[in-house]
Amino acid sequence: MDRIFIEELRVEAWVGIYPRERAVRQLIEIDLEFGVPDAAAEHDDIADTIDYAEVIARIRKELGERHFNLLETLGEFVVALLTEDFGAPWVKISIAKTGVAKGVKRVGVAIERGKLA
């Protein structure tokens, strides 16, 4: 199975349980990898794969409109988006908040769903 990866996608999202987190969107960083059909490389046709530009636009749109209490829930939402709406058979995602704790660069979660062929 071929894979597409998107690294350090920065998105402003409504996420968190604390009042300061609910007041404004936070910058989060997403690393994403997902499986795509081998046919894309065989036919050199965007119709045979998942268009990463569409994935990025959709993630930015959806995360800008919804609130998530937990990064875990946000991650599962993005995984479902990739599997259900884009047809990815396998998704690996890590999501991190930056600057949320003194002396800590990033805090986040990693999720992997589906099967590698």
**Active-site residue flag, 97:** yes
Burial class (CB in 10 A: 0-12, 13-18, 19+), 65: exposed
Listed in sequence order, the residues at least 6 apart from 37 whose beta carbon sits closer than 8 Å to its beta carbon are: 1, 2, 48, 49
Element (H, E) at 22: helix 19-23
Catalytic site residue from 61, 97, 102, 115: 97
Q: Which residues are the active-site residues?
A: 97
